Structure 1
Amino acid sequence: MKYIVTVNGKKFEVEVERVENGNGSKQANETSKKVSAEEIGKAVAGGIKISAPMPGKILAVNVQEGQKVKKGDVLFILEAMKMENEIMSPEDGTVEKVVVSKGAQVASGDILAILK
């Protein structure tokens, strides 16, 4: 559908498209992992939480459970505001639990992984 919009006295012709589910957001990736609050609680009790610093989409998961990581290793790549942000390990350790998968939408503060 085409519309004419006036902004600061100037007229612009815009075209609007209908998206998949009708509200401008895409459906969650069906391959995303579902992790229970109980599992997260158990893992968090003795580990270091790696949290999302901002809302966005997980573009890459560079670690697996049981993998050893060093301080500064890139664990995840998070796309936020059209920019790719590297989520790095704050210290040496072993990945206890990976909570998200590639394509998952996360909010600020969501736990991505637990290190021991």
Structure 2
Amino acid sequence: MKKFNITVNGNQYEVEVEEIKDSSTSAPRIQHQAPVAAPQPSAPTAPKVEAKKPVVTNGAGSVKAPMPGTINDIKVTEGQAVKAGEVLVILEAMKMENEIMSPADGIVKQIAVAKGASVSSGDVLVVVQ
């Protein structure tokens, strides 16, 4: 028997694993152990935040839907100046909200969708020039 410490969702468990050396088949034995308290950090640390990349689009200034979904919110207006990486539209797909960002600095020339609209992959959402 070998003992291992395994962490699952922040909870640490001690498990024992038996190595079977012969080729006969037998039912696995399950041995439950009480969870071992995970060590607590001495000081709170800031959560790691991944940098979000702007959606790269094909075409001159058009920001297209990367996947099919529903427009939950439009964060810009026509004529508004935007910077690269600024959120333009919130697209809900598979019950997740996806921030669709500007690929470059520019001005919003056209908003091609409305709040609540269903879009397909590749549909133009916003034109930024």
The TM-score normalised by the length of structure 1 is 0.59
Letter in 2 for 1:74: V
Residue number in structure 1 paired with 2:78:
65
Letter in 1 for 2:113: V
1:11-50 alignment, distance < 5 Å: 47-50=60-63
Gaps of 5+ in 1: 1-45
Q: Which has the larger radius of gyration?
A: 2
Letter in 2 for 1:84: E
The residue matched to 2:103 in structure 1 has which SS?
coil
Residue number in structure 1 paired with 2:3:
none
Q: Which structure is higher in RCO with an 8 Å CA cutoff and minimum separation 6?
A: 1
Structure 2 counterpart of 1:78, from 72, 91, 98: 91
Residue number in structure 2 paired with 1:23:
none
Residue number in structure 2 paired with 1:104:
117
Higher helix share: 1
Q: What are the superposed Cα offsets for residues 64-104 of structure 1, whole Å, 9 maximum, x if unpaired?
A: 11000001100000000010000000110000000101100
Supply the distance in 2 between the matched residues of 1:97 and 1:74 (Cα, whole angstroms). 15
Supply the distance in 2 between the matched residues of 1:113 and 1:79 (Cα, whole angstroms). 16
1:113 aligns with 2:122: no
Percent identity among equivalent residues?
A: 59
Q: Structure 1: which 4+ aligned runs deviate by more than 2 Å?
A: none
The residue matched to 2:113 in structure 1 has which SS?
coil
| Paired residue total | 71
